[in-house]
């Protein structure tokens, strides 16, 4: 697997069929799912509830595929004031490339994606998901030119994450320390590469 392809689905090792039956039962008993089950029952007789619920949990995996860990890191670095100074063209001319070794640091982020359940172009319900991440990063070096992240020399990562659906914890993942040897080319990131 290429480091640039490390999605939240891969980080969490998400497979809907591995989710705890107890957690799924708790999610299914929430008021949002009760309302959704009722609306689906009124709208169609062709899709039984267990199948609809299973499709929702599979869709959560697709939602996790859309977010890359390196995008989360780049967003956190971009928000840091020290990195903003690196985009000053007077201090750092266009022909100068800056290598920024990062001190060991922690990135905490929270994400709130959601799934909309639709039938015949009509939204029947919206399922809220919350993702909490803590990434402990060691030995990363950023290459910056003209205020843009050119590449990231990776080091080690220790991550902890949790996925909640309607307030119920579905999954927790602690990676332990993982070595991420290699270099991530950021040249195709577009706006995401700007510091």
Tell me how far apart the alpha carbons of residues 175 and 178 are, in angstroms, rounded to a whole number: 7
Helix ranges, 69-133 (H): 69-79, 81-85
Report residue 173 as tokens.
């993942």
pLDDT at position 147, please? 75
Tell me how far apart the alpha carbons of residues 163 and 171 are, in angstroms, rounded to a whole number: 5
pLDDT at position 3, please? 42
Tell me how far apart the alpha carbons of residues 121 and 102 are, in angstroms, rounded to a whole number: 48
Residue 19 has pLDDT above 90, yes or no: no
Contact 100, 122 (CB under 8 A): no
pLDDT at position 107, please? 94
Is the torsion defined by CA of 32, 38, 42, 45 positive or negative? positive
- In this structure, of 79-83, 107-111, 121-125, 127-131, the range with the lowest mean pLDDT score is 79-83
Tell me how far apart the alpha carbons of residues 87 and 147 are, in angstroms, rounded to a whole number: 4
Q: What is the largest CA-CA distance in the chain?
A: 67
Report residue 181 as tokens.
């040897």
- The reported pTM is 0.81
Q: Which residue has the higher pLDDT, 172 or 40?
A: 172
Confidence of residue 192 (pLDDT cuts 50, 70, 90): low
Is the torsion defined by CA of 36, 118, 9, 114 positive or negative? negative
User: Rounded mean pLDDT of 155-165?
Assistant: 94
Confidence of residue 111 (pLDDT cuts 50, 70, 90): very high
pLDDT at position 170, please? 92
């Amino acid at each position: 697997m290429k480091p640039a392809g490390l999605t939240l689905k891969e980080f969490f090792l998400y497979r809907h069929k591995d989710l705890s039956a107890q957690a799924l039962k708790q999610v299914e008993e929430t008021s949002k799912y009760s309302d959704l089950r009722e609306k689906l029952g009124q709208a169609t007789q062709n899709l039984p509830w267990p199948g609809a619920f299973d499709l929702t949990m599979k869709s959560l995996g697709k939602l996790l595929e859309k977010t890359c860990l390196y995008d989360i890191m780049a967003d956190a670095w971009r928000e840091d004031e020290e990195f903003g100074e690196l985009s000053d063209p007077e201090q750092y001319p266009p022909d100068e490339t800056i290598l920024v070794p990062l001190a060991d640091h922690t990135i905490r982020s929270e994400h709130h994606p959601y799934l909309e359940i639709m039938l015949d172009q009509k939204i029947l319900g919206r399922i809220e998901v919350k993702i909490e991440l803590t990434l402990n990063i060691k030995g990363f070096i950023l290459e910056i030119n003209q205020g843009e992240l050119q590449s990231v020399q990776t080091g080690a990562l220790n991550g902890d994450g949790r996925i909640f659906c309607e307030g119920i914890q579905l999954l927790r993942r602690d990676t332990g320390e993982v070595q991420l040897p290699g270099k991530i080319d950021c040249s195709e990131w577009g706006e995401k590469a700007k510091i």
